[in-house]
Amino acid sequence: MSRRHMPLLFVLLACWLGSSGIARSEDLLIRGATVHTLTTQGTLERADVRVRDGRVVEVGKGLAPGAGATVIEANGRPLTPGLFGGITGLGIVEIGLESSTVDSSALVDSGTSGPAFVPRPEFDVTPAFNADSVSIGVNRIEGITFAMIAPNASGTLFAGQGAVARLDGSDNPFVAASRTQFLDLGSSATAGVGYSRAAQFMLLEQAAREALPGKPLQAGDVRLLTPTGREVLARYLAGGRVAFAVDRAGDIRQVLEFAAKHGVRPIIIGGAQASQVATLLARARVPVVLDPLLNLPGTFDQLGASLENAAQLQRAGVPIMFTHFTASTNTAHKVRQGAGVAVAHGLPWDAALAALTSTPADVFGLGPEAGRIGPGSPADLVLWSADPLEVTSVAEQVWIGGRAQSMRSRQTELRDRYRPAGAAARPQDR
Amino acid sequence: MSWKSLAGSLLALAAWSALAATESYPSTYQARPGAPLLIRNATVLDGTGRRLDGADVLVRDGRIVGVGPGLERGTATEIDAQGRWVTPGLIDVHSHLGVYASPGVDATQDGNEATDPVTPGVWAEHSVWPQDPGFATALAGGVTTMQVLPGSANLIGGRGVTLRNVPATTYQAMKFPDAPQGLKMACGENPKRVYGEMNRAPSTRMGNVAGYRQAFADAQDYAGQWDKYQAERTAYDKKKDKDKDPADRPSPPKRDLRLETLVAAMQGKVQVHVHCYRADEMAVMLDLAKEFGFKIAAFHHGVETYKIANRLGQEGVCGALWADWWGFKLEAYDGIWENIAFVDAAPNGCAIVHSDSEEGIQRLNQEAAKAMSRGQRAGLDIPPERAIRWITSNAARSLGIADRVGTLEPGKIADIVIWNRDPFSVYALPDLVYIDGTLAFDRNHPQATPRSDFLLGQPGAAR
């Protein structure tokens, strides 16, 4: 049993008895790693990282282990910050096709007289979060330590609110500053928004006006939003973060205009044609969350989708992050492969790693040291078998807040039950 | 009907159905072999399980002539492949390119005839749109041959077609000459969901199985009708001319395109490919195959294949699988990374990496790399020369074309990929792809590689 699994009572008892060696019980020293710091220090060969109380306290060479510290010998293996899993349904979608396990969207029927559905920007997925979801464990052992837990925006206008979770197994893992409103625009417009992207922009503008203060309800007014919806939207219009799922260059321009007019901080999700408006995006410092594997026009909005999208945006100075649209929850970890593919198509390796770590930490307000390995960084770390962007590499140990995470999942349980005779378990697999 | 008489009737029908069915819609594919080619000094994974370092590959008349060190150049054009890797052209046994084409708009939803759960009379090839831009992106990933299948909404979805990945105006010009067609069947959740939601059969797994059984029972009966006709016709033809009364001349039964396909499956003329996730359902399908005397070439998707890997090995059935897809529905909940490697490890195991995806087909090498790596970490000895079989020769085996493609043995069709490095890497890219020994893709000259008509003149898609 590792120390972190000791029953609390036992630990308290040991303290009470004045036992020594409990002090600095959180100390962890990872020695001799190739440390990708994502700071101005760049990549440090054969470097040591000291962790205390859930944070990195020191990065350097030849650090001496403190008394009682857990020492991990990296032997040159890469150490990175934990990876961002993208825009996911982790914890709110267990099995996509089983509606009883899906809590990602609120299509609230307004009743008999009103429109087909009521836009609910106040919808917030975070209370539905299930820390025990099997998908979380499966992704965590692949090095995913944080992810956006987002409502499902498809076919809606206002999907509602999501937030970034650290996948540490706690029940309320959300980062308060990361709250984001999600909107879906473009060719997926459905009946509820008049089948037209023009109607989407019309309703968006109407909702924004409704949310403005000092507009008392007049007799006969037809309102789009509920009072709570107006309140919530007003908060986002006061400099909040709004993610727009949109691909077409023209739609991105509209979004940028809307954002400038109403004072929201936009994020583009998708952005298949974003490189056509890269200069605009870069000037406004608008980040793009893209799937680096998208290179076919799934829709007309995605004509021109290219494996070079990530490289082109990065070159233009647009902050980029990755998500895996095809299976954004169960197989969120495929962002790592996507990052490698982006590198194979021109994205600098360091920029690809930043897109998985420091950029999402910055965009979603996780703190200036987050997504990096430097003094003060949250000790969300991954020790890799080899190049972290390579498909043949695996995460060998994941830490979140300095705590070593179990490297087992429901999948490893199944693997070990059915492991064929002749396949010997290696120590790290047990 | 006794088993023996069924076999007899199948034989009787064989001659007829060959005429009526398999020669229809013939391939017009033309191999266009280029000048002789010598690929020099590569690391060759030949698809048979061999790795040759510093080896040459010699191609003449569109065929592999030799693989080995220091081959005689003769008049061949030489390509220096020092530091590069050479594999057979990749084969995807499960694609919907052309039938669920990009863009995925209403007009391109041609992969599921979801109006009846049993539609063996439909042929995927009749839905294939050769201008799907996904063919070219698959080629850039080294895919030279693929099977395009109907979707899995139906218990029996129809016939699949094996295509050469060449740009063409008609699908017939892509059709792999003399390759057997496939028959797509589907287990589990999809058929029962699609039809259950319409409040019709099947709405349960037992309804699924009853649906397959009735369809094959009908096919047996149909075969019997042809058997009877053939016997009567033979007797009539034997009569002396003076005894022949044209009024007595037997009439053939009306052709039934649905049952024709199922009879062809029972005759072994089409390769049966079964979409099936769960181990227990695969076992039911193996019993179904025994009941009606057909052979299953491969289970597709099979996220639980690792649970019955030995049984599939014993029965000679391949598992066409993903590296890491899982959990999007309950029947996919038990997927594990090691599935492919565990299937491969079984005695006589036949593991295949398939895509079922216009994205995945572009990176079959990476999917294989993931499966190889996880298998190695689970303690299995899987070198690259073994894993490459999952996307070459094993795939060819399940499609019934292993005598022509899937390896770099002398005499085989010269479908070749020259990779910029070890293909089992996220950074690996095909530099050059040859089909029939002719250059089909060149990464450094993208303007010379295929591009769909659909993308021409699209300002949004300018490159």
Q: Do A330 and B380 touch (CB under 8 A)?
A: no
Q: Do B461 and A304 touch (CB under 8 A)?
A: yes
B203 and B279 co-located in one domain:
yes
B340 and B320 co-located in one domain:
yes
Give a yes or no: residue B391 inside a domain.
yes
Q: What is the pLDDT of residue A401?
A: 96
B14 and B82 co-located in one domain:
no
Last residue of a domain, one of B379, B405, B431: B405
pLDDT one-digit tens code per residue, A84-131: 999 999 999 999 999 999 999 887 655 545 445 678 999 999 999 999
Cα distance from B367 to chain A (closest Cα, Å)? 8
What's this model's pTM, rounded to 2 decimal places?
0.94
Token pair in block for residue A404: 């070593």
**CA-based Rg of chain B, rounded to a whole angstrom?**
23
Last residue of a domain, one of B405, B427, B445: B405
Q: What is the pLDDT of residue A11?
A: 39
B411 and B458 co-located in one domain:
yes
Q: Do B333 and A95 touch (CB under 8 A)?
A: yes
B8 and B69 co-located in one domain:
no
Integer Cα distance of B309 and B375 in angstroms = 14
Nearest CA in chain A to B364: A391
B152 and B175 co-located in one domain:
yes
More confident residue, A73 or A2: A73
pLDDT one-digit tens code per residue, B383-421: 999 999 999 999 999 999 999 999 999 999 999 999 999
pLDDT one-digit tens code per residue, A307-353: 999 999 999 999 999 999 988 899 999 999 999 999 999 999 999 99
pLDDT one-digit tens code per residue, B75-102: 999 999 999 999 999 999 999 999 999 9
Q: Would the pLDDT of A19 be above 50?
A: no
The answer to whether residues A371 and A358 touch, using CB atoms and an 8 Å cutoff, is yes
Q: What is the CATH number of the domain that holds B188?
A: 3.20.20.140
Give a yes or no: residue B240 inside a domain.
no
Q: Would the pLDDT of B159 be above 80?
A: yes
Q: Would the pLDDT of A17 be above 60?
A: no
pLDDT one-digit tens code per residue, B199-241: 999 999 999 999 999 999 999 999 999 999 999 999 999 999 9
Q: Tell me the CA distances in angstroms from A154 to A192, A326, B268, one per residue in order.
A: 12, 13, 45
Give a yes or no: residue B215 inside a domain.
no
Give a yes or no: residue B221 inside a domain.
no
Q: What is the pLDDT of residue A406?
A: 97
Give a yes or no: residue B17 inside a domain.
yes
Q: Would the pLDDT of B463 be above 70?
A: no
Q: Is A177 on the interface with B (CB under 8 A)?
A: no
Give a yes or no: residue B235 inside a domain.
no
- What range defines the domain where residue B448 resides? 31-88+407-463
Q: What is the pLDDT of residue A215?
A: 64
Cα distance from A303 to chain B (closest Cα, Å)? 5
Q: Who contacts A199 (Cβ-Cβ below 8 Å, separation ≥6)?
A: A189, A193
Q: What is the pLDDT of residue B16?
A: 52
B298 and B398 co-located in one domain:
yes
Q: Do A299 and B105 touch (CB under 8 A)?
A: yes
Last residue of a domain, one of B389, B405, B421: B405
Give a yes or no: residue B158 inside a domain.
yes
| ipTM of the shown complex | 0.94
Domain count, chain B: 2
B173 and B267 co-located in one domain:
yes
B369 and B446 co-located in one domain:
no
In this complex, which of A96, A98, A337 lies closest to B366 when CB atoms are compared? A337
Q: What is the CATH number of the domain that holds B55?
A: 2.30.40.10
B197 and B74 co-located in one domain:
no
Residues of A in contact with B104 (CB under 8 A): 298-299
Residues of A in contact with B344 (CB under 8 A): none
B77 and B114 co-located in one domain:
no
Integer Cα distance of B320 and B361 in angstroms = 13
pLDDT one-digit tens code per residue, B344-376: 999 999 999 999 999 999 999 999 999 999 999
More confident residue, A212 or B88: B88
Q: What is the pLDDT of residue A220?
A: 79
B54 and B17 co-located in one domain:
no
Q: Which domains does chain A have, with CATH numbers?
A: 3-80+393-429 (2.30.40.10), 85-368 (3.20.20.140)
What percent of chain B stands above pLDDT 90?
A: 92
Lowest model confidence (mean pLDDT) among A13-27, A231-245, B52-66? A13-27
Give a yes or no: residue B370 inside a domain.
yes
As a whole number, the mean pLDDT across chain A is: 89
pLDDT one-digit tens code per residue, A366-394: 999 999 999 999 999 999 999 999 999 99
For the residues B5-33, what does the mean pLDDT come to? Answer: 66
Q: What is the pLDDT of residue A155?
A: 66
Q: Is A298 on the interface with B (CB under 8 A)?
A: yes
